[in-house]
Amino acid sequence: MITVSENNIFALTNSYFSYVFRVSPEGILEHLHYGGSLRDPLKVATHHLRTQREVATNFQGGPYFSLSDTPQEYPSFGTSDFRFPALHGRNSDGNTVFSLHYKKHKIVTDKPRLKKLPSARGGDSETLIVTLEDVLHKLEVELHYTIYQDYGVLVRSTKLKNKGDKEIQLQHAFSSALDLPPQDYEILHLHGTWSREFNEERIDVPKGRFVVDSARGTSSAAHNPFIAIVQKGATEEHGRVHATTLMYSGNFALSVEKGEFEDVRLLAGINPYNFHWRLKPGKKFCTPEALHVYADKGLRSMSHIWHEFVRDKVSPERFRHKPRPTYLNTWEAAYFDVDETKVLHLADKAKDIGVDMLVLDDGWFEGRRDDTSSLGDWTADKKRFPSGIPALAAKVKAKGLKFGIWFEPEMVNPKSQLFKNHPDWILHVPGRKPSLGRNQLTLDLSRPEVIDYLYGQIDNILSCGDIDYVKWDMNRNMTEVGSAGLPKNRQREVSHRYMIGLYDLLKRLTKKYPDILFENCASGGNRFDLGMLSFMAQNWTSDMCDPIGRLEIINGCSYLFPLDVTAAYIGPSPNHQNGRKSSIDTRFNAGAFCAARGISLNETDIEENKDQLQNLMQFAKNSAEDMVGGRFDRLIKTDTEVCWQYTTRDETKVYLAYFHILAAPNLPFRRARMVGLNPNADYTLVEDGVRYAGDALMQSGMPLPYVATGQVNENVRYMAKGDFSSYLFVFEKVAQ
């Protein structure tokens, strides 16, 4: 997979892509190719022509060679490249000029793991480590490149070592740099806010810099840490795509810069804004991993590569291809007004409607009657739960259910015993009154004593052995980011040290409790990223539980994430986020392809819709194994229609979900051209037993239901009348 020529041309090649760069005569790592797989990648030509450019500054006096238009692997500032660099810092002379030259390289079988940061698993992989050096200031930079035999993902990270005897101050250090040749590109990124995450935006690459980033302390709902540089006009089926994401959950930046010579530079890593790291002599700094995908058959092929890799190499291996339990969550049933009697009563309701698990949400700990108090005091309220949580969990499990519980460990209310005892354990700065978010302050996870406290409190609950699921919530962004545990000259390290602390806490808990299913939630998708998914097998995609509001969210989410790692439940109608009324069927169908499916309704709603909920939960249980490891495809997305296809891992079943948003008279007859079927096989539609040929479903398409607005014809398949209708088809492949 990795080959190196005698004159130091490096090639990483598998059946998906080739990635090629070389050491230039000046010792600079010059990027040559990142695209389709090459038969002889070591012979690829350089695209950088050495010729006289007016006003160009020649690199260190060399003729006809300027870094201002040279595609590089890890550019720095100050030696003729005026684009935004991958590395910027202050050296011992007080200036910010570094010049990184090739020193050595080695090839490692498999993939080294990062010690303090999450990293993708190895296996059938090789890693190239190229060391660059600034000789003057004794800074070594190791560039790590991992390629896999059977996956189309390139994993990169950077390790910086201070080999000198004087401090170096890092102002930013990106994980990777990718310089693409001049072409007509577009940017695809995912933006949003609370309850409107993962909105797709596509724009032409502008002159100058375009940046999606976060300075919120989370990867954020505002901009997911994902970006794709796509061939102009690329579709689901056609066009070249270069996509990048980060395995990191904190402040990040993805920067796209079109230079004066039309080249495009993509930088990925920790956000330079408000970042500073004192690199003492003999110390190292490791960046998070950046993951890159190249696909040449459109956005659909890009997503398939991401999905396979995320489920196989990122999400916890223990839950890979493992069906998720159906569940009833107590939140919409009782909100904060929960007690042991109500929970056990809801457990009976859960059994009655046929779900597998009861989840106790917020409100179970001492003094917690609303969101103004008690966060941080993770002991059961003695009046409402006199037997304690372990005893309650045992009682629920005795009814034949699994038991799950909600935590929000990273926050504290000012009105809490923890804050009273340790007011300095929050993120804060001297002389400033801390801002509140949802009546909360953020605990300072850069401090080891805070990590130890949280571990002890959570371990005290989980150690009973009857907890099957943990919902890990986090409901505010960081403000007044400072730590009483660090000196003044290290305050801009706090955000990153917080993430290191959080990862340490998650690593300790998931290592001790590998069989507990952890779900990551941050007001929905405010921290939905590969860093969190490396510890937690699923993510609460959004607090938007209205099905129509969720269509855009799931569609955008699917560009990067397999639906194996997502959860959805049937929430109330009218919806609490937007007031929309919708049917039980459509509320279920919007999340039908998520691996984890459940219910969060009050008792009245459950009773009124009991038969329908029983049928839907039975369908969810019967299809639970189908919804892990399969292939998800986006077929149609317009302002009024969405159509998705899901094919099971063994390709024996195919699900087709169709949503019609607003009804209208005299609509055209629509069809969905399905993808990835066996053209020589037949597929039986389960609801009526009619057979369809695989090639016909792909070439001619599946006729979609008509939205009934008047009299109906028995020969026509109809959707429910009115707005927000949906239909779910299930096909079974006929054995050959």
Binding site annotation covers 504? no
Nearest to 651 by CA among 680, 672, 673, 671: 680
Distances (CA, A) of 495 to 117, 446, 477: 14, 8, 11
Distances (CA, A) of 679 to 346, 427, 633, 687, 734: 48, 59, 17, 22, 12
Binding site annotation covers 492? no
Q: Which residues contact 539 (CB under 8 A, 6 or more apart)?
A: 519, 520, 521, 525, 528, 532, 533, 561, 565, 566, 567
Binding site annotation covers 671? no
Binding site annotation covers 474? yes
Q: What distance separates the 2 farthest-apart alpha carbons in the chain?
A: 85
Amino acid identity of residue 352, one-letter, is D
Binding site annotation covers 150? no
Q: What is the DSSP string of 404-460?
A: EEEE-TTEE-SBSHHHHH-GGGB---TT-PPP-BTTBEEB-TTSHHHHHHHHHHHHH
Binding site annotation covers 194? yes
Binding site annotation covers 682? no
Q: How many other C-beta atoms can be found within 10 angstroms of the C-beta atom of residue 15?
A: 9
Q: Are 307 and 562 in contact (CB under 8 A)?
A: yes
Euclidean distance between CA atoms 79 and 66, whole angstroms = 9
Euclidean distance between CA atoms 195 and 214, whole angstroms = 17
Residue in this structure with the two tokens 């969190």, named with its chain if needed = 532
Look up residue 314 and give its two tokens.
Answer: 């990122």
Distances (CA, A) of 397 to 334, 348, 467: 20, 11, 9
Chain mean position to CA 502: 17
Q: Which residues contact 716 (CB under 8 A, 6 or more apart)?
A: 706
**3 state DSSP class of 43:** helix
Give catalytic status of residue 515 as yes or no. no
Q: What are phi and psi of 342, to 5 degrees?
A: -65, -40
Is the peptide bond preceding residue 386 cis, with omega within 30 degrees of 0? no
Burial class (CB in 10 A: 0-12, 13-18, 19+), 47: middle
Binding site annotation covers 370? no
Q: Are 525 and 539 in contact (CB under 8 A)?
A: yes
Which of 543, 564, 605, 633 is flagged as catalytic?
A: 543
Binding site annotation covers 438? yes
Q: Any alpha helices (H) in 168-217, and if so which ranges?
A: none
Burial class (CB in 10 A: 0-12, 13-18, 19+), 43: exposed
Give catalytic status of residue 124 as yes or no. no
Look up residue 669 and give its two tokens.
Answer: 């007859």
Which of 263, 473, 546, 626 is flagged as catalytic?
A: 473
Binding site annotation covers 475? yes
Euclidean distance between CA atoms 44 and 32, whole angstroms = 7
Q: How many other C-beta atoms can be found within 10 angstroms of the C-beta atom of residue 581?
A: 12
Q: Are 26 and 58 in contact (CB under 8 A)?
A: no
Q: Which residues contact 272 (CB under 8 A, 6 or more apart)?
A: 88, 171, 172, 253
Euclidean distance between CA atoms 441 and 482, whole angstroms = 12
Binding site annotation covers 611? no
Nearest 10 degrees: Cα torsion 303, 307, 313, 316: 140
- Look at phi and psi of residue 398 and say left if phi exceeds 0, alpha if psi is from -120 to 50, else beta: alpha
Write out the binding residues for substrate: 194, 361-362, 438, 471-475, 521, 543
Active site residues: 473, 543
Write out the binding residues: 194, 361-362, 438, 471-475, 521, 543
